[in-house]
Structures are given as C-alpha cells and as structure tokens.
Amino acid sequence: MADYVGKCNREVKCAYHFTPKTYFERTGIRPENDDFYPRPKQAVKKEKPSTIDPHYLQATLKHYDYNDFAVGLYNYFPKEKVNSILQKYFVGTAKGRKTIFWQVNRGGDVRTGKIMCYNSETLERSSFITWVHKQFEKFNLAQLYFGAHLLADSKTPVAIAEGEKNAILDALYFPQYNWLAVGGQNMLNVQKLNALRQYDVTLFPDKGKAFKKMGRYGSSGQLQCESK
C-alpha cells in the first residue's frame, strides 16, 4: 500500500486516518491478503484479566519527597494534603523520581500502573510513558479508569477528567467528587461508561477535540459535560 495509508498517533493535534479499506476502494486494487475480506465471526473465549500483587502498589505509596510530581504539587498545596490525596488515589513513587498512577478496580484488584516523569517546577510531563505490567510475562491486560477503586463508594458524585494529573489537581480543589481519569480519548467509550450508569457523573474534558467527544456522551442526558 501507499505511504499515506495509516493513522497518526497524535490523535488530538493531527487525527489523520486513511484506512486500507478506503485505499482499496479508491484505487480499485484488490488486496492479495485474504485478511482484508470479512469472515464469519467466531466466538472468542475471554481470558480473565491478569492482576498484580497489591504489595507492589503499597510499597510505592511513600517517599513523595523523591517524586517530582508530588514535589511540584507542594508548591501549591500543603504537603500533608497532597500526600493524603496521593495515597487515596493510589499514586506511587518509582525510581528516578517518577510517578506511578495505579489502576485498581473497586474490588481491590491491581490491573497495572502508568509510570510517568514530571518536571517538579512546571508540573509538565515528558512524553515518555511506561507500564508496570510490562515487567510480567504473559500478562492479560484489561485497563481501567484511573481512580476506579473509589467507585466502591456509590454515594459520592463522580467526576471524570481526561488525564491523571488533572484528576489529582481537581481532587485537591474539589474534594466533593470522586475523580477518575480516562487516560486517553480512546478509553472514553460506551463499554466503560456503562459501568458508571448507576452513578451521578459529570465529565470535565480538556478544551478542543476531547470536549467535543465527551460532549456526545453528555448530550445524552445521562451524563453532564462541562468544559475546563
């Protein structure tokens, strides 16, 4: 296929996507690979999601003086308040002053941890991201929204931000909500939102394409949608 076939990974800034199907339709070329033709769907046996020993998580909920994200928050909020929120939301410390945003379900199962690096002065993150589950072989990953463990409390209203950093900042400013983060626009889908249908939910997307996408769910009347 031509070089222009494909999808840009800069979903917000670019969003370019030229599919193989469109390429074949426009050029009239018939693909040699049979995989491009529809086949009868076969039942797929779902594997149970892998989990991580919670002792790994608990061991990281400290040493915030050596966590650049936490240190950056200390510039704006009392240290005790920051540490309390970080522990509540299962934010850990990794080697190299990095931050781990753990994904834990409401039953306490640890699915993975998103490891990110921040500038302690600006709170800007680097583009480098890695994952705790990458350390384990044959790991069946099933991601969750960051903060999903807080859904065990069904009485407190739920608010959803786009990124993990925003969820923590918002939790410091607006503690009347249990804050979740989708972690990326592709994680905002009907399947995951259905799990929240019994909760009072407000979406707080970033401005731009994220707000337009999240607004589609908010316009259904089941979810509120407000711009940040």
Residue 41: inside a domain, yes or no?
no
Residue 168: inside a domain, yes or no?
yes
Model pLDDT for residues 124-147, shown as the tens digit of each residue: 998 789 999 999 999 999 999 999
Residue 25: inside a domain, yes or no?
yes
- The mean per-residue pLDDT over the stretch 110-135 comes to 94
The helix/strand count (H/E) of the chain reads as 7, 10
Residue 42: inside a domain, yes or no?
no
- Same domain (yes/no): 18, 124: no
On average, the pLDDT of the chain sits at 85
Note down the domain range covering 27.
Answer: 6-36
How far is the C-alpha of 19 from the C-alpha of 212, rounded, in Å? 23
Q: Look at the block and give the residue holding tokens 């469109």.
A: 22
- Same domain (yes/no): 176, 141: yes
Q: How high is the pLDDT of residue 215? A: 56
Q: How many domains does the chain have?
A: 2
Residue 44: inside a domain, yes or no?
no
- Same domain (yes/no): 30, 77: no
pTM, two decimals, is 0.75
Quick one: tokens of 153? 């409390």
- Same domain (yes/no): 20, 125: no
- Same domain (yes/no): 160, 102: yes
Higher-pLDDT residue of 23 and 212 is 23
Residue 45: inside a domain, yes or no?
no
Residue 205 has what DSSP assignment? P
- Same domain (yes/no): 12, 74: no
Residue 167: inside a domain, yes or no?
yes
- Same domain (yes/no): 115, 198: yes
- Same domain (yes/no): 84, 24: no
Ramachandran bin of 135, using left for φ above 0, alpha for ψ from -120 to 50, beta for the remaining angles:
alpha
- Same domain (yes/no): 133, 215: yes
- Same domain (yes/no): 31, 124: no
